Structure 1
Amino acid sequence: MPQHSAILGTGSYLPRRAVSNQELTDFLAAKGVETSAEWIQTRTGILQRHFAEGDETNTSMATAAAKQALAKAGVDAQSVDLIILATSTPDQIFPSTACGVQAALGAQRAMAFDIQAVCSGFVYALTVADSMIRSGQVRNALVIGSEVFSRLMDWMDRTTCVLFGDGAGAAFLQVSEEPGVLGCELKADGTLGCILNADGRIENGRIVGDPFLRMDGQAVFKQAVSVLGSSAISLFESVDFQLDQLDFLVPHQANVRILHAVARKLKLPESRVVVTVGQHGNTSAASVPLALDLAVSSGLIKKGHNVLLQGVGGGFTWGSVLVRM
């Protein structure tokens, strides 16, 4: 009998410190950077974001989100066979943040590794976990997105520093006789790497290149709307799924204008689009699992709902995963 994977539990973690638009604009004004709380909200839909304190690391946030997902699934960490952590902001070059989470959870049986696809990281990681479960290599998998983008910001660049926040989200997947993950599609275009990047690196003990995140906002907006719409249509066709069967879209939470544009392109009512960007800003690989957990925890997304998860980010990467909760 063919094996499938299903999401049995979700979890999330947001750092203790919530920073409102007004607090951020006051901070930027002291540096001579002009913006306003109204400008941020109007242009992005963001009301606040969370910034990690000194004792909040990528590993600690990811671990907290993972513990929630395990608890909701009613599974002990000892049962986990696989931990995949999507991040662009690891705690160190190596070992991987996933190995740190494995140690913190006491999940000694689990293989563990990081995956780097920036804001598409969670859907990339979910696809890998689904493939490994369906192939019979593992039975129980933790998929996590965790980021500390506040430590990658140039606070003199208002086009980026008002957008991003920190956080972590997780999903627990288990082998299932009934399909939970209905289909996946991943894409990339490396020729567009220049529109969203952080190209600094460590070389001979020093930082070489620009260590801050840089973005061509208009180019990213245009590409995101185009590829997310096309990805959804392509995936639905490949699994013989009709749009009217979709209960909710959980897209990467980058900018409310992108979310609304994608909804229009898919002719999807905005009431069926999960929007949480106002609460936590763009948390890169953490944004999709954060939004999914908030929707599940609030009772908006229920067991049996068909949900489309979508990510788009630097690389340029994008992808879609269709799941039945």
Structure 2
Amino acid sequence: MKNVYITRIAKFLPNEPVENEEMEEKLGIINGKASKARRIILRNNQIKTRYYALDKEGNVTHNNAQLVAKAVEGLCDDTFNKSEIELLSCGTSSPDQILPSHAAMVHGFLKSGNLEVNSPSGACCAGMNALKYGYMAVKSDQVKNAVCTGSERTSSWMKSDIFEDEVAHLEAVEQQPILAFNKEFLRWMLSDGAGAVLLESEPNGKTPLKIEWMEGYSYAFELETCMYAGGEKLEDGNLKPWSEYPADVWGKMSLFAMKQDVKLLSENILKKGVASMKLAMEKHNITEDDIEYYLPHISSYYFKENLYKEIENQGLHMPWEKWFLNLQKVGNVGAGSIYLMLEELINSGKLKKGDRIFLQVPESARFAYSYAYLTVV
């Protein structure tokens, strides 16, 4: 087995940062009324700026695959050409279409020559699953290098016109034309962007990071769906997919909008997160003393203090000085967030040889968690 190193890292954030007061202008107003939930949600998540692949008029400037292609191109220079990439592994929650796969579409924009593509599906863990596939491929000497990415382009999923059919339908049946909170919640949470890493079996580059190990855990066997798109959650907790609904109700029910069961999220995301964190740390016999930088992907600063408390409650300790977050500046980029955090840390100038970095990525879709442990070499 080969050693595996992150030797290059790049990001692409579209357009200019969007301030809180600009969000509704970009995404649009639903039913002609400003959102009452927006300020409450933003006060809790404490995100100050985010990025949208939309211009000033709300027109799309990049699709998801184009965002990723830009990030991948950021890995390349005179000493490493995109034609040298042997494996392209791309994870996202928000692919541009059902078929072809996300990585195939990225490859189409790169026009980089023949290579293997891999497109893990899912939510936030999709970016880590993309990394793990590349990690295993390089480690087992299947390929000499791999480019792995995480990205989201959710802004177009959150635009007001996505919900207009549903609001019109509610008015027609004499119901209150108010969007359900589980549909509106994510409108004020998500951001667009892409991150990419180059994996190689030699510690090249200015700040190479050795991937010591990666782990993943799922609690779908005991918890029902929490975040979803392309279906509707039934009273019994099961998810009914869009393909089982008549086409004429897809818009009336906003079936393709991203939705979140907020109550289920708050009850489980931290407890299962720390439980799986303990499993990973115990399996590899590490403690907080073996970690210089802790990078937890959190969707909102609402969870920051509570995550710290839950870590303490379950018998672990993670001092604040080890935490590294950038949510306030770039927003919640889902599968891309961990790449953007790591990119900022690497370029901060803080890292020194021997530093160890612990990555933690939860996804609330059906409660899955991914981990990676890195060493600066």
TM-score scaled by length of structure 1? 0.88
Distance 2:243 2:344 in 1: 37
Do the aligned partners of residues 290 and 193 (structure 1) sit closer, same or farther apart at CA in structure 2, a change above 3 Å counting? Answer: farther
Question: In the TM superposition, what whole-angstrom CA distance separates every residue of 1:64-116 from its partner, at most 9, and x where no partner exists?
Answer: 111223449x5222221111100121122222221232233343242012111
Question: After alignment, is 158-167 or 213-222 more displaced?
Answer: 213-222
Q: Give the corresponding residue for 2:229.
A: 198
Given the alignment of the two structures, is residue 249 of structure 1 paired with residue 294 of structure 2, yes or no?
Answer: yes
Given the alignment of the two structures, is residue 33 of structure 1 paired with residue 35 of structure 2, yes or no?
Answer: yes
Do the aligned partners of residues 93 and 303 (structure 1) sit closer, same or farther apart at CA in structure 2, a change above 3 Å counting? Answer: farther
Instruction: Map 1:1-325 onto structure 2 (within 5 A).
Output: 2-24=1-23, 28=29, 30-35=32-37, 37=39, 39-53=40-54, 54-71=60-77, 74-153=79-158, 155=160, 156=179, 157-176=183-202, 180-191=210-221, 192-200=223-231, 201=242, 208=250, 210-264=255-309, 265=311, 266-313=316-363, 314-325=365-376
Do the aligned partners of residues 153 and 6 (structure 1) sit closer, same or farther apart at CA in structure 2, a change above 3 Å counting? Answer: same
Do the aligned partners of residues 222 and 176 (structure 1) sit closer, same or farther apart at CA in structure 2, a change above 3 Å counting? Answer: farther
Question: After alignment, is 158-167 or 90-99 more displaced?
Answer: 90-99
Question: After alignment, is 211-220 or 22-31 more displaced?
Answer: 22-31
Distance 1:286 1:43 in 2: 21
Distance 1:69 1:222 in 2: 40
Question: In the TM superposition, what whole-angstrom CA distance separates every residue of 1:106-155 from its partner, at most 9, and x where no partner exists?
Answer: 43242012111201111222122111212121120111011111222375
Answer whether contact 1:183 1:235 (CA < 8 A) is retained.
no
Aligned letter for 2:264?
A
Answer whether contact 1:120 1:311 (CA < 8 A) is retained.
yes
Structure 2: runs of 5+ lacking an equivalent = 55-59, 161-178, 232-241
Distance 2:111 2:230 in 1: 34
Question: In the TM superposition, what whole-angstrom CA distance separates every residue of 1:211-245 from its partner, at most 9, and x where no partner exists?
Answer: 11111223223322122222222222222223212
Do the aligned partners of residues 216 and 154 (structure 1) sit closer, same or farther apart at CA in structure 2, a change above 3 Å counting? Answer: farther
Aligned letter for 2:48?
L
SS at match of 1:291: helix
Distance 1:124 1:287 in 2: 13
Distance 2:323 2:209 in 1: 23
SS at match of 2:201: strand
SS at match of 1:126: helix
Structure 1: runs of 5+ lacking an equivalent = none
Distance 1:86 1:96 in 2: 10
Distance 1:226 1:4 in 2: 33
SS at match of 2:332: coil
Answer whether contact 1:40 1:46 (CA < 8 A) is retained.
no
SS at match of 1:8: strand
Distance 1:71 1:310 in 2: 30
Distance 1:22 1:271 in 2: 31
Deviation, 1:28, is 4.7
Aligned letter for 1:33?
S
SS at match of 1:84: strand
Distance 2:105 2:188 in 1: 30
Aligned pairs, how many?
Answer: 322
Answer whether contact 2:42 2:188 (CA < 8 A) is retained.
no
Distance 1:206 1:303 in 2: 59
Aligned letter for 2:343?
D
Do the aligned partners of residues 303 and 61 (structure 1) sit closer, same or farther apart at CA in structure 2, a change above 3 Å counting? Answer: farther
Aligned letter for 1:50?
Y
Distance 2:287 2:225 in 1: 35
Deviation, 1:206, is 7.3
Answer whether contact 1:9 1:71 (CA < 8 A) is retained.
no
Aligned letter for 2:370?
G
Structure possessing the higher radius of gyration over alpha carbons: 2
Q: State the percentage of identical aligned residues.
A: 22
SS at match of 2:133: helix
Q: Give the corresponding residue for 2:167.
A: none
